[in-house]
Structure 1
């Protein structure tokens, strides 16, 4: 007795549609002329940027007669240590005080300005309240107002409360950074999920704790970018200290070097001090960028993978 196998049942069609294979992305080929043009533009821009620095590196090793009588892009002796010693001893050793003043103004001002900008940007991005967009537009409009246009009104305001010629007359105005608020809002809107904030609130965290434990950590790379930009801006600020300060002990390096440069007719050796002091004033900025670039790049890479 033979058994017949039942006829095979037709297989049900698969629920997953077969997707056609995607074509491999085409590699964009740049013409040799385009690549050469790009390299040429980058080379010219790099040369334009580096030439003043190269001249400064040669100039800080020269004596005063060599600054006037030798080629600016060629060495003519090595008097770097003598120039540095004279710089820090000039006028009773006032230059180190100017350097510390610049570190104070830039460090404290950038820290306060970054915290205020990040908190304001976080608020504009994650909270809804009446008049939010109008208030944000008013803050961003502050970017269009140059700092030189605000220096005289700020002087009149601080003069009315007897705070001119003090540290606060420079520190308080530089803590306001409308462009930092704009950057912070854009970064907060893209890097902080609303679900994460809701989870923190469900766990019982208040608004301030949610900001400092969740929002601020996720906004770290953006906050670091704002801090670096604000630090450099305050470090190079000249007009506000010029208007606010009259006591030379409170001067910044830029204002102090300006006063020396204005007195070269009375003392020609001030020119040598201005050149060496300009080179020394760049060192803190280099240290700051070299120290923070690792965390800055790491944070940007993590943000790109998020």
Structure 2
């Protein structure tokens, strides 16, 4: 087993529980995380979380932490891939179509505790530095870039604040563990959607290739239906996975992450691709049906002609 016994990791209300355990020993990131955990979601996505506690006494400390994180990012990704591979080896017998794909999502979460209730004021005073840290960018950002980075905000109480962006998030005086679990789950959703998009794109290219094949080699007519069924299951599963979420603040973070990660747009794009594939498949099979009917008609005519000739010769 991994470093600790499996346990149900989600306290955010997943309708189907995930399995979480501590990371396998012997994997170094070079940055000394105090926590390294593996989360296995039921639809086949593995998430590896590294946590790096820091004491931040000034905004400069946040910039330094961001720089350190960027420097260790490559090592963390390599370590996460190693951890995922070892987990797959452990559960391979229970996995349908076991495969470790090249696709991955990396996401940084900064969680701060500020004294008092001045989260918005603190962001107003340090907006440029905060945006730069969230982007893991050592260069000063323009005003537009700062605005784009800090525009998606979620707040529930007077003193808390969450800033959500495409590749990072900042939580100030928020429920760090639950919020981090939710963002981790949303990125797992994004990864599952990306992998599905890759598979559907490959099927679309295959369908275009079939247009040049002979009609008797058009393939399996059930293939597209099976893929549409699997995608429909995935999307329904992702949408209902948080059916038991009852916290209003977490629900707002969830909705914000759906917008930031453009999950609805990704689902719509995949649905449109599937419709295009179905259109091509329908054209192929209609063409094949017509050709087969014409061939059958020719065969019948030939048989009738042969029968007439044979009768004439016999007479």
When normalised by structure 2's length, the TM-score is 0.30
When Rg is computed on C-alpha atoms for both structures, the one with the higher figure is 1
State the TM-score, normalized to the length of structure 1. 0.31
Question: Relative contact order: is structure 1 or structure 2 higher (C-alpha 8 Å, sep ≥ 6)?
Answer: 1
Greater share of residues in strand: 2
